[in-house]
């Protein structure tokens, strides 16, 4: 039976075919693909049909298309989406670590088509991928040579497999760390084919511990930055300079997994100094590995710097081929490294460094500007306060250092149901077209504003809460 369009508004909804033919849908189809748009359009029409009754007004076509765009945005599983990182953790692994500088984003787009990734334009012969960044990395670290792989975990795997496959590697018990996300140093060593020889104790390792562990089966010496944890109190580690002396005496290569590995002295920005690759090389390490997307502020990559013959040995390992980076990563990394040529401008140019260097009073003023509008959006059940907060660097850099920060604390006014209401609000924020990611502490939703650069854009995103 046909529904009567006069008495039944459901009949005034467009058919699926008519909706799909609307020229205004062309851009959604270009963005999401015809199949996805069709699925969501079908879902939207079905939802509307079940909600409408005889007295309802049928949404005009413009509103249907906006609703469809929102549905398409909100469906997971179609690729990473931008989010607002208001967690207070600047380099957040679950949120994609370092946001890239504008010049790196432009370089990625420029390299995305055909590019000279492995072509030597001078000779016309096959080129070496590493050449796009090697000179820049060497300039900044004082290294003889450098190579780049997929991430620092891959760098560690390649180092161990190249120099210690089927051999022993003594490592201090204080450095046998789990980085998170199932990266445990002993597991990686086993997969690299090396045998871990634990030396020293959790809190103290001495020179003699290493010297006594070296046998004819030893392949290399290896030092690991303890990354996301710190030992305080009665504590002793063997310095890289001492390890270099031991390695030299036994003609063994020495590598240091630095983890975050900053290319600038962070004390310039009021942070504690992290060991830099250049320090590690100057102290006698043959090889140093570090991440591209931690304190460096670039794309995901593992950078290894060191002696030329050692880097060449890494390049000859067939695993290097399996761990190599793509043209997009190389383009972004080269662009970020070029920015390091002008130290004075680093905080302006590199988002990670800008966020780390932001003074608390700046962030507090921003919180004060946002508190009113956010309170208006949330309505009278919520109290929105400007509060002092402590941000973290994240990703294993200076794990005990807190950065004085500020933000909004959002508090359900009634005692009853506060926990559930706060969690529900957090969920609503995660469901926005550009999700807002905060954290809950003591039944308050905290939005740390250290990583917020465009406050108007955040407010625009939050407008979606009214609908949610
Ligand atoms: C982060 C880290 C790694 C892993 O690096 P990814 O770039 O995440 O693969 C390895 N070692 C240390 C010490 C780290 O801090």
| Eight-class DSSP state of 460 | H
Cβ < 6 A, ligand 1 pocket: 151-153, 156, 179, 183, 224-225, 227, 257, 259-260, 291, 302, 395-396
* pLDDT for 4: 65
Closest approach atom of ligand 1 to CA 177: 13
Q: Is 23 helix (H, G, I), strand (E, B) or coil?
A: helix
| Residues in Cβ contact with 332 at an 8 Å cutoff, skipping those fewer than 6 apart | 100, 104, 105, 107, 108, 298, 299
- How far is 106 from 123, CA to CA, in rounded Å? 27
Q: Tens of pLDDT along 112-131?
A: 999 999 999 999 999 999 99
Q: Report the distance separating Cα 194 and Cα 316, nearest Å.
A: 18
Beta bridge partners, 390, equal: 404
Which one-letter DSSP state was computed for residue 2? Answer: P
**pLDDT score, position 182:** 74
178 forms beta bridges with: 184
Cα-to-centroid distance, 91 and ligand 1 (Å) = 12
Task: Please say whether the beta carbons of 100 and 332 come within 8 A.
Answer: yes
Task: Choose one of 171, 192, 257 to mutate for the ligand 1 pocket test, by most ligand atoms within 8 angstroms of C-beta.
Answer: 257
**pLDDT attached to residue 2:** 56
Instruction: State pTM to two decimals.
Output: 0.91
Q: Which of 262, 314, 263, 264 is nearest to 287 (CA)?
A: 314
Q: How far apart (Å, rounded) are the C-alpha atoms in residues 223 and 288?
A: 9
Give 260 Cα–ligand 1 centroid separation in angstroms: 7
Indicate which residue's Cα is closest to atom 15 of ligand 1. Answer: 259
- Give me ligand 1 centre to Cα 407, in Å: 29
The helix-helix angle for 360-378 and 455-462 (nearest 10°) equals 20
Q: Quick one: pLDDT at residue 397?
A: 66
Q: What is the Cα–Cα distance from 287 to 289, expressed in whole angstroms?
A: 7
CA distance 432 to 288: 42
- Residue 234 near residue 204, CB atoms below 8 Å: yes
CA distance 460 to 191: 48
Distance CA 384, CA 407 (A): 10
Reading the block at residue 424, the tokens are 């529900």
Substitution site in 157, 227, 285 for ligand 1 pocket (most atoms within 8 Å of beta carbon): 227
What pLDDT was estimated at residue 57?
Answer: 81
Pocket test for ligand 1, best of 158, 280, 291 (most atoms within 8 A of CB): 291
Q: What is the pLDDT of residues 424-449, one digit of tens each?
A: 999 999 988 899 999 999 999 999 99
Shortest-distance atom of ligand 1 to CA 93: 8
From ligand 1's centre to the CA of 411, what distance in Å?
36
The CA-to-CA distance between both ends of the chain, in Å, stands at 35
Which residue CA neighbors atom 11 of ligand 1 most closely? Answer: 259
If you count them, how many residues does the chain have? Answer: 468
DSSP annotation of 308 reads H
- Confidence (pLDDT) at 77: 81
Single out the residue of 261, 458, 451 nearest to residue 352, CA to CA.
Answer: 451
Contacts of 52 (CB under 8 A, 6+ apart): 9, 10, 13, 58
CA distance 351 to 458: 17
Please give the Cα distance from 293 to 304 (Å, whole number): 14
Residue spans of the chain under pLDDT 70: 1-7, 397-400, 467-468
Residue nearest atom 13 of ligand 1, based on CA coordinates: 259
Which of 179, 189, 329 has most ligand 1 atoms within 8 Å of its beta carbon, as the pocket-test mutant? 179
Q: How far apart are CA 235 and CA 135, in angstroms?
A: 38
Residue 152 confidence (pLDDT): 96
């Amino acid at each position: 039976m046909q529904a009567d369009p006069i008495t039944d508004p459901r009949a005034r909804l467009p058919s699926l075919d008519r909706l799909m033919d609307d020229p205004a849908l062309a851009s959604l189809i270009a963005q999401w693909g015809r199949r996805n748009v069709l699925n969501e359009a079908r879902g939207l029409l079905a939802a509307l049909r079940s909600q409408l009754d005889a007295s309802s007004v049928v949404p005009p076509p413009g509103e249907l298309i906006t609703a469809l765009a929102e549905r398409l945005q909100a469906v997971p599983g179609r690729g990473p989406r931008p989010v607002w990182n208001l967690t207070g953790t600047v380099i957040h692994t679950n949120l994609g670590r370092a946001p890239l500088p504008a010049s790196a984003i432009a370089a990625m787009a420029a390299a995305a088509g055909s590019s000279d990734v492995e072509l030597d334009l001078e000779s016309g012969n096959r080129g070496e991928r590493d050449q796009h960044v090697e000179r820049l990395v060497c300039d900044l670290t004082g290294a003889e040579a450098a190579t780049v792989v997929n991430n620092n975990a891959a760098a560690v795997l390649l180092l161990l497999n190249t120099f210690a496959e089927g051999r022993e590697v003594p490592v201090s018990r204080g450095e046998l760390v789990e980085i998170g996300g199932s990266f445990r140093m002993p597991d990686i060593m086993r997969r690299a084919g090396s045998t871990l020889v634990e030396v020293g104790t959790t809190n103290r390792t001495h020179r003699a511990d290493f010297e006594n562990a070296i046998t004819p089966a030893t392949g290399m010496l290896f030092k690991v930055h303890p990354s996301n944890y710190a030992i305080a109190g009665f504590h002793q580690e063997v310095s890289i300079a001492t390890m270099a002396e031991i390695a030299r005496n036994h003609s063994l290569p020495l590598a240091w997994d630095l983890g975050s590995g900053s290319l600038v002295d962070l004390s310039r920005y009021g942070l504690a100094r992290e060991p830099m690759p250049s320090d590690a090389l100057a102290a006698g390490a043959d090889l140093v590995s570090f991440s591209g997307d931690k304190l460096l502020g670039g794309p995901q990559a593992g950078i290894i710097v060191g002696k030329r013959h050692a880097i060449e040995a890494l390049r000859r390992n067939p695993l290097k081929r399996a761990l190599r980076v793509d043209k997009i990563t190389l383009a972004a990394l080269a662009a970020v490294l070029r920015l390091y040529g002008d130290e004075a401008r680093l905080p302006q140019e590199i988002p990670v460094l800008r966020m780390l260097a932001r003074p608390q009073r700046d962030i507090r003023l921003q919180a004060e500007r946002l508190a009113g509008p956010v309170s208006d959006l949330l309505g009278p059940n919520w109290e929105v306060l400007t509060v002092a907060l402590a941000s973290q660097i994240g990703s294993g850099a200076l794990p005990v250092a807190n950065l004085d920060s500020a933000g909004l604390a959002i508090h359900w006014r009634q005692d009853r149901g506060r926990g559930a209401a706060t969690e529900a609000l957090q969920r609503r924020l995660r469901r926005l077209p550009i999700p807002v990611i905060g954290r809950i502490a003591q039944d308050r939703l905290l939005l740390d504003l250290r990583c917020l650069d465009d406050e108007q854009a955040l407010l625009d995103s939050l407008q979606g809460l009214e609908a949610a």
